[in-house]
Chain A
Amino acid sequence: MVQENKELINDGYETVIGLETHVELSTATKMFCGCALSFGAEPNSCTCPVCLGHPGTLPVINEKAILYAIKIALALNCTVNKYTIFHRKNYFYPDMPKNYQISQYDLPIGSNGYLDVDMGDYTRRVGITRVHLEEDTGKLIHTGSTGRISESASSIVDFNRAGTPLVEIVTEPDIRSAAEAKEYLVALRNLILYLDVSDCSMEEGSLRCDANVSVRPAGSESMGTKTEIKNLNSFRFMQRGLEYEVSRQAGIVSSGGKVIQQTRHYDNVTDTTKPLRTKEEAHDYRYFPEPDLVPIHLDKEQAGKLKEQIPELPGQKSARYISDFGLSLYDAKFLTGDRQYALFFEECMKLYKNAKAVANWLMGDFSALLNKESLNLSESKINAAKLVSMLELIDSGKISSKIAKSVFEEMFYKGTDPAEIIAGSGLEQISDEGELELIIDEVIKSNPGPVAQLKDGKEKAIGFLVGQVMAKTKGKANPRLVNEIILRKIK
C-alpha cells in the first residue's frame, strides 16, 4: 500500500510550495481572433487589429480553446463550472495590447480538482484550485547588450504571441519539496500531452511554471511568508531553483530573520534566486466582468460528451498495464510516462503476447538509440510490426537475443525489415542440433580442463564452454541449445 501525503520535515522545517502553470494551447488560431499561432515568425506578422488592441476592436471566443480547457479541467478531476465568464485584468505594460488582459476571475472553467503525483514510496495528492483560460501577452526584447531589462535603454515589442490561448493551472499549496514540485510538473505535462491540447514544450515556452514558496516550523498550521519564483524554465532548473529558495528561506527563519515577500528570479548561471524588484508594488487589477463577451453556459450533456473524448490517462493506463499485461510498476510507469511509448507498446500488444519482452526493448535499446540520435519515438523508422517481427524471430530461435541487438540497430537506422536483415547478413542463429553438436564436440575435445570441472559439479565452467561455442560460431549459436547439448553430452 503506497503511503499517501507523507510528511516531509528537514531540520525542523516543512516546505510549502504552490505552483502556477501556464499552458499554451495548440489551437490553430488565437484566443479571441483568427490570427494563426506562430513561433519564430517575423515580428508582428501574425497580428490583426484585434490582437494589436486597435481602437474599436472586439474579442470573439475560440470555441476549441474552451473545449481544450474543459478537457484539462476534467482530466484534473475538477468540477467544471456550468456558468463561466471572462473578466478584465487591468494593468499597464508594453507587451499588453489593450493594457488589460482578458482572463477569468471568480467563475473559472474548472475548480477543486487534484493530481496524484507518484513519488515512489508515497503519493502526493496535489489539489488543483482552479483551471482557467486567458490570453497571452506579446514578447519583449530588451535592446541592451545583455538583453536584461534593467540594463536596456529601450525595448522592442513583438505582438505575434499576443492573444495566444493560455490555460492557467493553479495548485493548492500542497507540495512539500522541490522534488515533488518537479514530479508534479512532469506528471502534469504528461497528462496534458495525452490530451493532445498542447505541445507542452518548456524550451519553446508553451509550458511555463512559477512557484510560490514558503517554509514553516514542523507541526505549524499557519503559513510562512511566501516568495514568488520565476524563470524556472526546465525541470532541472525548477528543482534546483526551489531547493535553493527553500534552504535560503530556512536559513533566514532559523536565524531569527523574516522572509521578505517578493518576486524572485532564478538565475541558472549562479544557481540562485535573486529579487526581481527592490520595490514590490502590489497590483490592483480592478477585475470586472468583460462586457464585450457574453457568458458561457455548459450543460451536463456537453460536459459528458467531452468527458468521453478524454483518452485513457497515464494513471489509468499504468494500472491497466499492470493488471492486464503483468508489467511491473516500474515498467508501467516508464511506458506511460510518454504517450508515444504507451501507444507503441499497445500497438505491439495487438500483434504479440509477451509484454515484458516489448517493454524491455522499449526501455532498453530503443530508448537508448532515440536519445542518442535526439529523436522522438514517432520519428523513428521502427514501427510496431517490425519490432514484433524481430521478437518473433528471437522466439523461434532464428536469432539470438545478442544478435538481435545489431539487427535492431540496423532496423533503427535503415528501417529494413528484420527478416530481410537476417537473410542478407547470415546472422541467422544456428539452432540446428546436428550442426551444433559437431562444434560442441570440438570444443569439448579441446577443453578438457573445464569439462572436468563441469563434471565435478562446478556449474560455472559451462559459461566458458558456451562462450567457446559462441566464439566459434561468431555468436550465432543458439545459447540455450548449446547449454542443453553440452550438459547432455557431459552428464
Chain B
Amino acid sequence: MELPLNFYPAHKLNKMLRQKQVSASEIVDAVICAIDKAEARMHAYLRVESKEMAQAAAGFDSKSDALAKNGSISDFCAIPIAIKDNICTKGITTTCASKILSNYIPVYDATVIKRLKAAGYILSGKANMDEFAMGSSNENSYFGPVKNPWDLERVPGGSSGGPAASVAAGTAICSLGSDTGGSIRQPASLCGVVGLKPTYGLVSRYGLIAFASSLDQIGPFTRDVEDSARLLNVICGWDENDSTSIGSAEAGSQDYTKYLGCSIKGLKIGVPKELMVKEVDGEVRQKVNEALALAESAGAIVEEISLPSLEYALSVYYIIAPSEASSNLSRFDGVRYGYRNRDAATLRQMYKKSRAQGFGPEVKRRIMIGTYSLSAGYYDAYYEKAQRVRTLIINDFNNAFKKYDVLISPTSPSTAFRIGEKAGDPLKMYMSDICTIPVNLAGIPAISIPAGLSSEGLPVGLQIIADTLREDNIFRMAHALEEAIGFDSHPMYLYK
C-alpha cells in the first residue's frame, strides 16, 4: 500500500513542494484527514489548529510561485509540525497538560517558535504530554492520557507522548518535544520514530516552561534521521535571551546534514554494561545487539565498557530534577496567571488550595521531594551530594569519550507497556528512564532511532550517545544504522 503524504518525511515533502509535485494544501489535507480518523482514539493533541493549518497552507500555495522563484521554500516551509504544550506559543493556550495552566495564554513566543515561524512552518497543534513534563508514560496529563498508535491499550512513553505519537501516527510530519531525563528519547523508542536530545545549551530554553533547568532541552521528533538534522539546523543556535545557550551572535549557523551518508568505518562504539541492565527485555537486548552487529559489518569497532557511576544516575536525577522543579514551579500560585482557587479568604489559603487543586499527584510528589532535598538540614546530604555524584558521572562519560566516538544502548528497557501497568508505582515508573537519564546529567547529546519491532509488533529503540557538541558523531552513526536497519513500518491499521 502506498504511503499517504502525511507519512512522508519533511525533506521529501520539501522537494515535492519545490518541484510543484504537491501543494501545501494537499499536505495539510492529508494530516487533517489522519487527525480526523485517528486523533480521537489517540489523544496526542490538546489543541488542533485545523482551520489555521488550512489557511496557512492556502496562503503558502497562493505565493508558492514567487517563493519558488526566489528560492525561499526552506526546509520546513508549509510543513505541519506539532509543538509539545510546554513550549510557549504566543496567543495560543499553553497548558503543560496541567489544570494550573489550563487557561494560560502566553504573551510571547518561545525562541524555537520564532525560528520555526521564520522558517515558514505550519503549527498543527499543541501536543499532549505528562503534566509539567514529569512522567514516562503520558498518563499524568490533566486532560487524559495519550495512547500509543501501535497499540491503543499501551502508553506512548513520556513525557513527550503527544509529540511522539503524532509523528508515528502521521497526524504531524514532525514535532518538537522536551527531554529532561529521557522525555524525547523514550517516547521516540516506544513509538518507533526518531527523537533527538541535543547537547545542553545547543537549543534555546527561552519559552520552554521549565521543569529542571540544568537538564531540560528541546529537541525534534522526526520520521528519519535526515529530518532530525534539518530540524536541528532550524532550532539550534545562540539566543541572547538564554544565558545557558552556547555560542555567540558572531558564530555562524550549523549544518548537520553534512554528517549524513558518511561511512562509520573505524568509528569506535562503546556499549556501557551499566545500561544493559538486567531489567532490559530480552527482545530489546536482541534488537540492539543486531544493530551493533550491523555496525561492525560496516567497519565500526564495538566494545563493552563500564561507567561505574551510572549505577547511581537514577538516584542523582531523582534528587536534582525535583529540587530544581520545586523552585521552578513555585511561580504557579494563582497571582499573575493560571488557576486560582476562589474559596480562599486569605493569601496563604489561596496559595495552598490553588496549588493543591491545580497540580496532579506526580507533580506534587516531585515538588515535595525537591523541597525536602533543598531544605535546611538536608541540603548537604541530598542536593549537594547528588551534584557531587553527578560530577563522577560526568567524569565517567568524559573518560569514555576519550576512547570512543559514540556509546550505544537500548533507549528504554522495554517496549510500550500497558496503560495503568506502572502508574500506581512511582519507583517502577522512574525505572523506565534508566538508560536515558545519565545523558541529561552530563549535558551530552543522544538520539533514539527505531531498531525494529518486537514479536508483539511494538517498536524497539536504540540510543546513540556522543560527547558534548558532537552531534556530528550522532548523525554519522544514526544515519548509517538507520540505513542498515531499514525500519519502514507505520501503524497503518489506524486508517483501515
Contacts and interface: CB of A to CB of B under 8 A. Distances in A.
Q: Do chains A and B touch in the complex (CB under 8 A)?
A: yes
A94 interface: yes
A61 interface: yes
A286 B206 contact: no
Contacts of A155: 347
Most buried by B among A97, A98, A293: A98
A56 B328 CA distance: 9
A291 B214 contact: yes
Contacts of B87: 56
A53 B331 contact: yes
Interface in B314-348: 323-324, 327, 330-333, 335-337, 347
A56 B106 contact: yes
B167 interface: no
Contacts of A58: 205-206, 241-244
Q: Is the interface of B mostly helix, strand, loop or mixed?
A: loop
Interface string A13-57: 000000000000000000000000000000000000100111111
B330 A99 contact: yes
A89 B208 CA distance: 22
Most buried by A among B104, B208, B240, B243: B243
Interface of A: 49, 52-61, 88, 90, 92, 94, 97-100, 155, 157, 159, 284, 286, 288, 291-294
Contacts of B336: 52-54, 97, 159
A320 B333 CA distance: 57
B244 A54 contact: no
Contact of A92 (B107, B209, B324, B351): B351
A68 B66 CA distance: 53
Interface of B: 86-88, 94, 96, 101, 104, 106-108, 110, 205-210, 212-214, 240-244, 323-324, 327, 330-333, 335-337, 347, 351, 371, 374-376, 379, 383
B376 A60 contact: no
Contacts of B240: 60
A55 B101 contact: yes
Nearest to A57: B206
Top 7 closest A-B pairs, CB basis? A99-B330, A291-B213, A286-B374, A291-B214, A55-B209, A56-B207, A56-B209
B335 A98 contact: no
A91 to B, nearest CB: 9
A49 B335 CA distance: 14
Contacts of B96: 55
A56 B205 CA distance: 7
Nearest to B214: A291
Contacts of B347: 94, 155
A55 B335 CA distance: 13
Given A55-B209, A291-B212, 18 more contacts: A54-B337, A55-B101, A55-B210, A56-B87, A58-B244, A90-B327, A92-B351, A94-B347, A97-B331, A97-B336, A99-B333, A100-B327, A284-B375, A284-B376, A286-B376, A288-B324, A291-B244, A292-B244
Contacts of A92: 330, 333, 351
Contacts of A159: 336
A184 B214 CA distance: 42
Contacts of A99: 330-331, 333
A452 to B, nearest CB: 90
18 contacts: A49-B107, A53-B336, A55-B106, A55-B337, A56-B110, A56-B206, A56-B208, A56-B210, A58-B205, A60-B240, A60-B243, A92-B330, A97-B336, A98-B331, A100-B330, A288-B327, A288-B374, A291-B244
Contacts of B327: 88, 90, 100, 286, 288
Contacts of A49: 106-108
A90 B372 CA distance: 13
A294 B374 contact: no
B108 A54 contact: yes
Contacts of A90: 327, 330, 374
